[in-house]
Chains A and B, each alone.
Chain A
């Protein structure tokens, strides 16, 4: 008795032989695909010309740290309490405090940070330092362009953290 698969087998019908259907089979699917390609081509570019253009970041993006000053007096907000260093899970902050004197008043409190260094090659940008800070002296900004050629250049000092972010990424000049 010949083998009868019964309902278990689905019979597939082969396309019919012929020139017109053969041509259709050869090009139609490709054209369908190209239709999408050409329709997107007229929409214009969607990539961004980094570094001349930059992707906007979310408001709570955690980028490079900033230290702040009081706007009215110009004194540093940081009192060198080292709580950020205590909170830091990557152990990348080093603070050495010193005492303010009437002649040399740096911060608003009794002490100030004589040395404030963040090793950005270690930092994991968790933002704990910002949470730990009792004086809102450190915040994580939106600057993320920190690549450098030298590890030691990634240790940011207090002066660098107090200053506005540097334009670090080389840009193409207009005549390039």
Chain B
């Protein structure tokens, strides 16, 4: 289930408004509709179900108490909630994930990098699942493939620059440049696409 796009957005806005007025049933509905996606996001970044559960619980508590501060028009409801989850996950990650995977796989004598790389579909496959008409997809496809890979890995897996450098087997400086230049080009391309659309 993907609570996408404008139609769901409108409903979610109404539900959030209900939550702002302490409507528990509205909140239960909001949780039913959105929690699978947000749990999926947290799992991808944290790689641990117990942590993802904790974070999910905290985030919904925060959504409940802050629903009144959500302003429609500023961000789509799903974007607002996803950002809360992503930020909590990134804040919670004090320890490099790679280290964690290393510890977890040491006993199995498995290449620790496989833990990340083979965890579900790769970010490049995910790109293919985005809507063809999506400007973001078009712009990502125009990037240098290495820049694109670094950006998608960072976004989906929550990797730091250092983790990216290890994963891609490149010097840290190189990876930092890929990410920075990739984001700059992405910004330029999206601004152009936006200009054309209007």
Does A associate with B in a complex?
Answer: no
**B residues in contact (CB < 8 Å) with A:** none
**A residues in contact (CB < 8 Å) with B:** none
